Amino acid sequence: MSNEERAYQRVKEKKGFYVHLSVYLAMAVFFFLLNVTTMDYPGDWWFYWPLMGWGIGVLLHYFNVFGLPVTKALTKEWEEKELRKELAKLQEEEKEEDPTDDHLELRDRSKEKIPSTSRPWSDEDLV
C-alpha cells in the first residue's frame, strides 16, 4: 500500500470517527429533550443510560482511530522521532555555545618565569 493510499485511509477513518461523534452529540440532545418532554414525574431522568453505553462505543472508536495516548510512546516510530528531536536539540545547543571558535589555543604559561620583582612575597613565605 502506497503512502498516498495509507493517508487516504487514515483520513477516511478520522472522518468516520467525527461523523460518529457528531451523531452521538445530536442524539444526546434529542434524548435529553425527549426525556424532558415525556417525564412522568420530576426527577425521572433516563436519557443518560443510552448515552453511557453509546459513549463507550464512541470512546472505543476514538482509540481505534487515534490509538491510546500512552501506547504511542511505546512504538518504534515514536522512539525514532524523539531520537531525531533530541539530536537536533543537542546540535543546536552545540552551535549556540560557541559558533565562532572551533577550538582554542592556549599558551602554556606554567613554564614561564615570573620576575621576582613583581611578587611582593618570597617563595619561603609560601606553605
Cβ neighbours of residue 72 closer than 8 Å, sequence gap 6 or more = 78
The percentage of the chain sitting over the pLDDT mark of 90, rounded to a whole number, equals: 38
pLDDT greater than 90 at residue 107: no
34-43, 63-72, 92-101, 111-120: which range is least confident on average?
A: 111-120
Q: Give the integer Cα–Cα distance in Å for 83 and 77.
A: 10
Residue ranges of domains in the chain = 3-67
- The helix (run of H) or strand (run of E) holding residue 27 is helix 3-37
Q: Give the integer Cα–Cα distance in Å for 15 and 13.
A: 5
Q: Identify the pLDDT of residue 54.
A: 97
Contact status, residue 47 vs residue 31, Cβ threshold 8 Å: yes
Cβ neighbours of residue 85 closer than 8 Å, sequence gap 6 or more = none
Q: How far is CA 29 from CA 24, 26, 37, 39, 43, in A?
A: 9, 5, 12, 15, 18
